[in-house]
Amino acid sequence: MSIVILTGAGISAESGLGTFRDKDGIWTKVDLRDVATPEGFARDPAYVLEFYAARRAHGAEAKPNAAHFALARLESALLDQVLIITQNIDVLHETAGAKNVLHMHGVTNRDLCNNCGNRQETEQALTVESICPQCKSKGTLRPDVVWFGEMPYHMETIEKALEGCTTFVSIGTSGEVYPAAGFVASARMAGAHTIELNLEPSSGGNLFVESHYGPATEVVPKWVDEMLGQ
Ligand code: NAD
């Protein structure tokens, strides 16, 4: 058995971190072209850094919820049979105790230097005056998150995992952002059982054989209990 779990903003919604595309979501307040593209960063780095400083601060205050803890429990019970792929840039899966987590869109609590490529975990807010601790350049640091138009991380490992999985579970993701939105199709090609856990059916909801709708803090622990025969 090999279970691949894809998570999105919906799993962290009940931890107080806003989703992107829902009513009142982050994209209703800011234009993604301004804050989540390399072009937006080049146009107005101070604005983009301020936006991510707020995400970093919210992320540091947020606590994992019952859904994050349930997935960590599943992972610890089934050892290396579970892989969590998250689109989330928060680290709530890890805070809940999960170890086998791939952040395909990076994380808010890490800086990346555009000059030397150095990566460093930090809770400090970045500004255009920030200096890279490695190469000492000023104004070259950005949050280590993947913006629209950039290549998501870990794609080779993810593709291999999808090819070999027996169960694919999608949790709290709208199915609007590729390549993650296409993972269910790859898992189906591999013959995997496909499950959607979400507040409501996602764009690709009809591609899942099994679905459970409701808040992540309810449907995810219930599904994990069933998986573990509890
Ligand atoms: P999205 O905003 O497009 O979709 C959120 C999904 O979660 C929707 O399908 C919605 O029905 C569902 N949802 C909302 N509340 C829920 C709840 N309580 N329980 C279960 N499901 C719930 O988010 P997405 O699909 O993850 O979009 C991908 C992009 O959003 C990624 O680029 C990701 O980096 C980014 N994002 C991350 C965070 C975070 O790190 N916490 C927050 C917002 C957005």
Per-residue pLDDT of 114-171, as tens digits, reads 999 999 999 899 999 999 999 999 999 999 999 999 999 999 999 999 999 999 999 9
The total of other beta-carbon atoms located within 10 Å of residue 192's CB is 22
pLDDT at 23: 73
88 to each of 58, 93, 127, 134, 201, how far by Cα in Å? Answer: 13, 9, 23, 27, 19
Tell how far the Cα of 9 is from the centroid of ligand 1, in angstroms. 2
- Which atom of ligand 1 is closest in space to residue 10's alpha carbon? 7
Class of domain 1-17+64-105+152-230: alpha beta
β pairing state of 106-113 and 119-121: antiparallel
pLDDT at 32: 87
- The whole-model pTM stands at 0.94
Residues of the chain above pLDDT 90, percent: 86
Instruction: Evaluate: CB of 59 within 6 angstroms of ligand 1.
Output: no
Instruction: Evaluate: CB of 25 within 6 angstroms of ligand 1.
Output: yes
Instruction: Evaluate: CB of 38 within 6 angstroms of ligand 1.
Output: no
Mean pLDDT over residues 20-26, rounded?
73
Tell how far the Cα of 19 is from the centroid of ligand 1, in angstroms. 4
Residue 24 has pLDDT above 80, yes or no: no
Mean pLDDT over residues 77-106, rounded?
96
Establish whether domains 1-17+64-105+152-230 and 18-61+111-145 are of one fold. no
Band (25; pLDDT cuts 50, 70, 90): confident
Instruction: Evaluate: CB of 88 within 6 angstroms of ligand 1.
Output: yes
Residues identified as active-site: 105
pLDDT at 92: 97
Are 147 and 38 in contact, with CB atoms under 8 Å apart?
yes
β pairing state of 82-86 and 101-103: parallel
Which residue's C-alpha comes closest to atom 16 of ligand 1? 10
Tell how far the Cα of 198 is from the centroid of ligand 1, in angstroms. 10
Domain boundaries, the chain: 1-17+64-105+152-230, 18-61+111-145
Residue 223 has pLDDT above 80, yes or no: yes
Class of domain 18-61+111-145: alpha beta
3-class SS shares of the chain: helix, strand, coil, % to 5: 40, 20, 40
pLDDT at 30: 85
